[in-house]
Amino acid sequence: MQANLEVLEGLVRRLDISVPMGQLETEVQNRLKRLARSVKMDGFRPGKAPLSAVARQHGSGVRQEVLGETLQTRFGEAVQAHQLKIAGYPHFEPKTGQTDAAEMTFSASFEVYPEVKIGDLSTGKMSKPVVNLADADVVKTLEVLQKQRRTFESADRAAAEGDLVKFDYQGTVDGASFEGGKGDDFAAVIGEGRLLKDFEQSLTGLKAGDSKGFDVTFPAEYAAKELAGKVAHFEVQVKDVQAPALPAIDAEFAKALGVEDGDVEKLKAEVKSNLEREAKRRVQTKLKEQAMELLLQKSTLDLPQSLVAMETERLMKMTEADMQSRGVQTMKLSADMFTGQAERRVRLGLILAEIVQAHKLVAQPEQIRNLIQEQAQSYEEPEQVVQWYYQSPERMQEIESLALEENVVAWVAGQAQVEDVTTSFEELMGRA
């Protein structure tokens, strides 16, 4: 077998592969004979059709099948002989001007994986948030949990922020009604942002039975394009104003949150434990973001366009599936919308693979087990979640990928200049 390797531009390579046509035809005939024993054809009992008839109907397909398998086999042998690492899939095409009927030559064009060069990371800087959880953080979280379980009771007073207001409304733009501009028994909590800010402010100070007219300007970026930037006039009739009532932090509250014996101190301990896990995840995320950016800045490599194209296609399909699952009308997506993201993901993937291989940063079974247990702690029955992960190779692969990322982040942090930055939990969560 002849397999000449040609280096083209960048990462593109080409192999010329010769296929003996006699061997190919022999295999075609053998497969047609096996097919003839069971094939169903009009006018013949199963397995009784003559070979000539089977060849006329199925010969072309069988020949393409055998040729494809032969090319893949011989291509694999040639790749192994030249010790190549193939990125993506090869493209086969017959060479022009061939005169030897006994042998046919095909050109296989493909890309190889690039050489990845990791630069000096010692000058890179990273900041690591250092968080000391305080009792105040636990108190704030309990207040959020209280708010989530609040009830509302009618109040004989004017509406204020935090109150639930029930009202009828009628809106017009230039004197004409519009879609969504009328509602009865509508309810919203003032200050939660469900309504436009000007609308909420106009409800503030009204009592049950009050009516009011006011103008609201829709934002220029308003979702309903036909209303964006326009001024609407609303007439509202308030039916009820309800004040919030928060549940007490007591045994019943603790039981409602999964503490079976109602021990409030246990509840606080669980809340603090959850906050510590969340803080750890958020710190790791921030370190990962910085490590990835540093690697992108310090690494050089050529991008295999075949891998970029595959990643672009994958991102497009994921987006389409997500839109369909949420009932969003699928818009026509362009590959250009995903190219930048695909290039970044492929570049990072190649860099991470190089670091993992070069520094043997393999994920250890104990590390994988700890990651799974951390994920499981957020659920009521952690052991069942642990079993759920171990029952699926796909889910285990996801966890292993997380472990490898953690190892790379730790390695980068060991090379770079890392500064500890004292950070409050609110700052870490982006709420300060």
Q: Domain 151-245: which topology?
A: Chitinase A; domain 3 (3.10.50)
Q: Cite the residue boundaries of each domain of the chain with CATH code 3.10.50.40.
A: 151-245
- Spatial contact of 209 and 200, defined as CB atoms under 8 Å apart: no
Length of the chain: 432
Q: What pTM was estimated for this model as a whole? A: 0.76
Task: Bin 418: left if φ > 0, else alpha if -120 < ψ < 50, else beta.
Answer: beta
Q: Domain 3-111: which topology?
A: Alpha-Beta Plaits (3.30.70)
CA distance 272 to 140: 11
Q: Domain 125-134+263-428: which topology?
A: Trigger factor, domain 2 (1.10.3120)
Structure confidence by residue, pLDDT tens digits, 110-167: 999 999 999 999 999 999 999 999 999 999 999 999 999 999 999 999 999 999 999 9
Q: Which two structure tokens, joined as six digits, stand for 132?
A: 């000391």
Q: Which two structure tokens, joined as six digits, stand for 73?
A: 């086999």
Structure confidence by residue, pLDDT tens digits, 225-276: 999 999 999 999 999 999 999 999 999 999 999 899 999 999 999 999 999 9
CA distance 404 to 416: 18
- Spatial contact of 291 and 409, defined as CB atoms under 8 Å apart: yes
Whether the pLDDT of residue 432 is over 70: the answer is no
CA distance 382 to 399: 16
Q: Cite the residue boundaries of each domain of the chain with CATH code 3.30.70.1050.
A: 3-111
Q: Which of these ranges, 24-28, 155-159, 293-297, has the smallest mean pLDDT?
A: 24-28
CA distance 370 to 349: 24
Cα angle, residue 23 at apex, residues 22 and 29 outer, rounded to 5°: 90
- Dihedral sign for Cα 419, 420, 421, 425, please: positive
